[in-house]
């Protein structure tokens, strides 16, 4: 038995454990969809799976609460698949191995999936509970939140009957979120021609690793290193100094994760190989010093490698280095009225050679749609001026804050009465599904909350045990205090 099943509240940890045993990376949710459907049906509850795989489970009101406003409990089923180098884990087959340390639940070398497994587990626990007081409940389990929010995008209007949406995908206990950033993906493509490796060259495998990475919205302001930016600087300098040629590049893995690792197979003239190795050592020391406070575990190294069959042409290599060097990355603007909140940012997420082209993936976020579009256009211009093609896709809206929200008033009162302190009201620099869902259901009064989760989208992800209990107690008390339907 996993030790997490022994934690309190037992219902939520039991259900979260069940989710950790089911592979559920984004785009590969078939097993968890089937599990969730079976879960609802075994409870004898009305269970619907829509055309894209979203699961909806309805639970009637408890006696005496039939006249309350209907509540939609919402969480997403998918998780971000990230693992440390050397971790033997197949996210499409293997369960997540969990453990408890110093009051936190963590995973062994992989992402934990508490984002948003804890929210999903909470909804499951409400559905199966026989001792709670609540009005009509609909649990909405969406798919593919992490790689495009297609589940929310494809949810049909009219299928849900509730009045209030409780999104359980926030990551700081005691904070109520009433708005979020919108996002758009911008991709650059640079065509390459493969050429024979010049004579008398030596091959190396260059690696940047040991970075913390993290969520490209929630952690973007922390000053962490971007592996793609770091390796590109090395390639650019070494090409000028030593005639380095690039054979392959593979940086980052996910659009919404700050890239922790980047790798490149390169060749340099054999006569300059020793100088190149010394240069990498000096470069590594500079990078280590630069990120000592924010990302002190960074490592940059170059090891001799097998000779590649081909290298990319020099023009494409120059275009690659120019595009990555000039592409904005990180925080672009802070919110004027909330100076501690990021307003606009961009993440240079992935750089990969595939199918005779270099593909550069980025994600822009902003709570101001016009600024998001302007930044995406700027990045497209960078890629095009570097000799590539560029396009934007997956545009999703932000969620405009409503400070006069009735559910906000209710939940603030409940929190203060339950815990004797005031909950914080915030907007989040991340993509919540509320903006998309609210477009399909404009009548919904929406709020987002959750337990304390740190470093989502990275193998350092962890969820605080105590706050899961507080989150659950808050959810239970909120359901008991939902207003009567007008």
Residues belonging to the active site: 78, 145
d(Cα 415, Cα 448) in Å, to the nearest integer? Answer: 14
- CA-to-CA dists, residue 464 to 44, 129, 448, 470, angstroms: 33, 23, 18, 10
d(Cα 454, Cα 452) in Å, to the nearest integer? Answer: 7
CB of 84 closer than 8 Å to CB of 109: yes
3 state DSSP class of 485: coil
- CA-to-CA dists, residue 380 to 80, 226, 259, 358, 396, angstroms: 26, 20, 20, 15, 18
Strands 71-76, 164-167: pairing is parallel
In the chain, count H helices and then E strands.
11, 23
- Tally of CB atoms within 10 A around 403: 9
Strands 164-167, 445-448: pairing is parallel
> Rg of the chain's alpha carbons, rounded to an integer?
24
| Maximum separation of any 2 CA atoms in the chain, in Å | 84
Closest CA to 281 of 314, 320, 234: 234
d(Cα 467, Cα 47) in Å, to the nearest integer? Answer: 30
Sign of the dihedral through C-alpha 242, 243, 248, 253: positive
Range 200-226 burial, b when 16+ CB lie within 10 A, else e: ebbbbbbbbbbbbbbbbbbbbeeebbb
Burial class (CB in 10 A: 0-12, 13-18, 19+), 400: middle
DSSP 482: P
């Amino acid at each position: 038995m996993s030790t997490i099943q022994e934690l309190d509240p037992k219902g939520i940890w039991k259900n979260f454990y069940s989710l950790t045993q089911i592979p559920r990376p984004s785009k590969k949710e078939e097993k968890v969809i089937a599990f969730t459907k079976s879960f609802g049906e075994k409870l004898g509850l009305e269970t619907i799976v829509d055309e894209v795989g979203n699961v909806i489970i309805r639970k009637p009101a408890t006696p005496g609460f039939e006249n309350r406003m209907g509540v939609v409990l919402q969480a997403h089923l998918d998780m971000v698949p990230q693992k440390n180098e050397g971790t033997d884990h197949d996210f499409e087959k293997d369960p997540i191995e969990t453990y408890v340390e110093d009051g936190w639940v963590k995973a062994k070398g992989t992402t934990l999936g508490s984002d948003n497994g804890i929210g999903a587990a909470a909804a499951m626990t409400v559905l199966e509970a026989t001792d709670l007081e609540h009005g009509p409940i609909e649990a909405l389990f969406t798919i593919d939140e992490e790689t495009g929010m297609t589940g929310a995008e494809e949810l049909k209007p009219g299928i849900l009957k509730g009045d209030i949406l409780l999104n359980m995908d926030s990551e700081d206990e005691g904070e109520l979120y009433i708005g979020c950033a919108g996002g758009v993906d911008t991709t650059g493509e640079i065509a390459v021609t493969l050429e024979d490796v010049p004579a008398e060259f030596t091959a190396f495998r260059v690696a940047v690793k040991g970075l913390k990475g993290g969520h490209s919205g929630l952690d973007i302001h922390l000053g962490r290193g971007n592996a793609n930016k770091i390796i590109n600087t090395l390639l650019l300098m070494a090409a000028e100094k030593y005639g380095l040629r690039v054979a392959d590049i593979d940086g980052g893995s996910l659009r919404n994760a700050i890239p922790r690792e980047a790798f490149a197979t390169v060749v340099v003239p054999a006569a300059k190989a020793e100088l190149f190795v010394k240069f990498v050592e000096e470069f590594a020391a500079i990078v280590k010093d630069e990120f000592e406070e924010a990302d002190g575990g960074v490592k940059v190294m170059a090891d001799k490698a097998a000779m590649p069959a081909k290298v990319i042409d020099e023009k494409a290599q120059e275009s690659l280095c120019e595009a990555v060097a000039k592409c904005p990355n990180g925080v672009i603007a802070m919110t004027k009225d909330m100076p501690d909140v990021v307003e606009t940012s961009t993440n240079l997420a992935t750089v990969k050679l595939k199918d005779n082209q270099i593909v550069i993936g980025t994600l822009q976020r902003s709570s101001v749609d016009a600024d998001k579009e302007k930044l995406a256009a700027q990045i497209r211009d960078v890629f095009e001026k570097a000799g590539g093609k560029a396009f934007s896709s997956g545009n999703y809206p932000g969620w405009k804050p409503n400070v006069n929200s009735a559910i906000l008033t209710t939940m603030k009162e409940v929190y203060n009465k339950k815990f004797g302190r005031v909950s914080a009201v915030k907007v989040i620099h991340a993509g919540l599904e509320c903006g998309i869902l609210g477009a399909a259901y404009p009548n919904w009064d929406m709020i987002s909350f959750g337990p304390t989760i740190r470093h989502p989208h990275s193998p350092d992800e962890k969820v605080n045990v105590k706050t899961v209990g507080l989150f659950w107690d808050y959810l239970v008390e909120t359901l008991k205090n939902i207003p009567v339907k007008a």
